[in-house]
Structure 1
Amino acid sequence: MMETVEQFLEYLEVERGVSPNTLAAYATDLSQFHSFLKEERAFQRWADVRRDDVMAFLLFLKERKYAASTVTRRISAIRSFFAFLLQEGKLRQDPTEGIELPTVARRLPRVLSMEEMDDLLELPARSNSPIALRDRAMLELAYATGLRVSELVELKLGDFNLAAGEVRVRGKGNRERIVPLTETAAQALREYLELGRPHLARNAEQANLFLNRRGRPMTRQGFWLMLKKYAEELGLDDVTPHTLRHTFATHTLRRKADLRSVQTMLGHASIATTQIYTQLATEQLHESYEEAHPRAKE
């Protein structure tokens, strides 16, 4: 069971950009929950956990006089973990559904400015090597579509219609959606397919679009390390694959895109998840106004 926890922690680090301290706290929280299930409930599989088991753990924590903030974090970690299992198709239902916790102020996600995003996209464009062409195509595609990194690295050669300017994406729950491409992203993909990928592919039957130096499919970890390298070169902190997704949504809404359309492109089941980006877009608009207007700071 703990192997699955390790996979979850890797997902948090690579795709969500969670800090080392938070990762350590989640590891402790889930380890305690795992021990409780084995010792008190005799469970061997996460798929067997039900809402009553989570409630029993909640009572277990309260009886031992844990602080309310600690209890909230424990259950939040468990909730995030089961959401991950659902996303990966390892569960059919969420045992934490309906369990209420005190409301905690939500931290707004990190978003790059348009200038920072332009600088990031320019870095791999300085070279025409196969790796640089791949990197530019991946970054342009991530920014143009807002794909999750797991969706990005799983793309296949047959998922694109460059003439129509669109890509077919398999998202959470294996749901498919069609996402439009910018001409810039489409051109970066053409150059990678024509001049980059043929030098990376070792096997003609390899269907994955993005390949590493060994001709194998790119991984979430591989993309994260590539992005981290470019971000550090620009002096940008806390840039993760999910930062590009946040940036896509915020910049698109700032350009007056329809909220429902952005929800569809992001693959959000609920529009409430998408609405946080309207706040980010408004904040960035105010910042730009204050920097640009001659009387804004008077």
Structure 2
Amino acid sequence: MELFFKYLQYEKRFSPHTITSYQTDLCQFQEYLKEVYDLEDISQADHAIIRSWVVTLVQKDLDSRTIHRKIASLRSFFRFLVQQGKLERNPTLRIKAPKLAKKLPAFIEEDAFTQLLDQSEFSADYKGFRERLILELLYGTGMRLAELTNLKLADIHLASSTLKVLGKGNKERILPLNTSLATSLSQYLVKRQEAFPNNNSPFLFVTDKEAPLYPKYVYRVVKKYMSSVSTAVKNSPHVLRHSFATHLLNRGADLGAIKDLLGHASLAATQVYTHNSIEKLKAVFEKAHPKA
């Protein structure tokens, strides 16, 4: 498995987050093999054993998307074993995953984010500027959580009002900064320098102990402020990314442009946002049309 994880990291260039998910899934399957079938080697698992594991996942009422990911992890690993000549055939090829429930991306209303910034009380110290900028960057650029925490000072180009992010598969993309966001960034950089004049960290965001920012901190910041303006069950950084894309589409932005801004590999991933726009159009129609 270690060889497989190195393959994902260096050849497939998967993100650390994705590799961690693969590790979790394979270790869980390995534990199932030991406990139920007294097998140590994953490569000994056949189609029937893998199917029985999928059944147990369904019985545990796991989300269908989670089960799909776990099956995909196994498929990739067994495909790797076939490529390495360790197995003759991939036993996961006949495994059928449960149907995916169609979920529309959660997002906040357009006025909610403005309300969040206007009504929230951010402290005048470095922490307050950091928290505000985290929210503004997530909503103002649509970047992913990992892209935010990995931002470097060298990635910020205030002269051209752009910043560079490193996305999935180590793909770089340039994102534009609106005037408000560029101003917030400038103010934050001044505050950062005042708070840590001798800090040599290359990262844009640092903790109070001058260490690189970690994902849980960003989750806490988003939940803290969004809970006051959003009734969404999951107030996460990704909701702000969804809001960014949905609001752009609602205001007539080209789907291809949104795809590039989000860093999606294909339009298929971006098209999910059109469903939110259609639902909004239906609501407007039903409210305004005399015959609706």
Task: Decide: shared fold, TM above 0.5.
Answer: yes
Confirm or deny that 1:184 pairs with 2:180.
Answer: yes
Conserved? CA contact 1:123–1:230, under 8 Å: no
Confirm or deny that 1:265 pairs with 2:273.
Answer: no
Question: Which residue does 1:60 correspond to in 2?
Answer: 52
Q: Distance in 1 between matches of 2:110 and 2:180?
A: 15
Confirm or deny that 1:42 pairs with 2:40.
Answer: yes
Q: Distance in 2 between matches of 1:202 and 1:82?
A: 49
Q: Tell me the CA shift for residue 74 of structure 1.
A: 8.3
Q: Distance in 1 between matches of 2:201 and 2:120?
A: 24
Q: Structure 1: which amino acid aligns with 2:40? A: A
Q: Tell me the CA shift for residue 200 of structure 1.
A: 3.7
Question: Which residue does 2:143 correspond to in 1?
Answer: 147
Question: Which residue does 1:175 correspond to in 2?
Answer: 171
Which runs of no fewer than 5 residues in structure 2 stay unpaired?
6-16, 19-23, 82-89
1:40-119 alignment, distance < 5 Å: 42-43=40-41, 53=45, 55-61=47-53, 66=55, 69-70=58-59, 73=62, 76-77=65-66, 79-80=68-69, 100-119=96-115
Confirm or deny that 1:278 pairs with 2:274.
Answer: yes
Which runs of no fewer than 5 residues in structure 1 stay unpaired?
5-10, 13-26, 44-48
Q: Distance in 2 between matches of 1:145 and 1:98?
A: 41
Conserved? CA contact 1:150–1:220, under 8 Å: yes
Conserved? CA contact 2:47–2:94, under 8 Å: no
Conserved? CA contact 2:255–2:270, under 8 Å: yes
Q: Structure 2: which amino acid aligns with 1:137? A: L
Task: Give the TM-score of the pair, scaled to structure 2.
Answer: 0.72
Q: Counterpart of 1:216 in 2: which secondary structure?
A: coil
Distance 1:83 1:103, change over 3 A: closer
Q: Structure 1: which amino acid aligns with 2:205? A: F
Q: Deviations over 1:180-218 (max 9, x none)?
A: 221211111011011x21244364311110122222221
Confirm or deny that 1:243 pairs with 2:239.
Answer: yes
Q: Structure 1: which amino acid aligns with 2:227? A: E
Distance 1:97 1:203, change over 3 A: farther
Conserved? CA contact 1:125–1:136, under 8 Å: no
Conserved? CA contact 1:30–1:78, under 8 Å: no
| Residue of structure 2 aligned with 1:221, choices 213, 216, 224 | 216
Q: Counterpart of 2:235 in 1: which secondary structure?
A: coil
| Residue of structure 1 aligned with 2:192, choices 197, 207, 214 | 197
Q: Distance in 1 between matches of 2:183 and 2:80?
A: 41
Q: Structure 1: which amino acid aligns with 2:173? A: R
Q: Distance in 2 between matches of 1:157 and 1:247?
A: 26
Confirm or deny that 1:134 pairs with 2:130.
Answer: yes
Distance 1:79 1:102, change over 3 A: closer
Q: Structure 1: which amino acid aligns with 2:183? A: Q
Q: Tell me the CA shift for residue 248 of structure 1.
A: 0.5
**Aligned residue-pair number:** 259
Conserved? CA contact 2:122–2:132, under 8 Å: no
Q: Counterpart of 1:178 in 2: which secondary structure?
A: strand
Cα RMSD, aligned residues only: 3.9
Q: Tell me the CA shift for residue 153 of structure 1.
A: 1.0
Rg comparison, structure with higher value: 2
Q: Structure 2: which amino acid aligns with 1:219? A: Y
Q: Tell me the CA shift for residue 126 of structure 1.
A: 5.1
Q: Counterpart of 1:36 in 2: which secondary structure?
A: helix
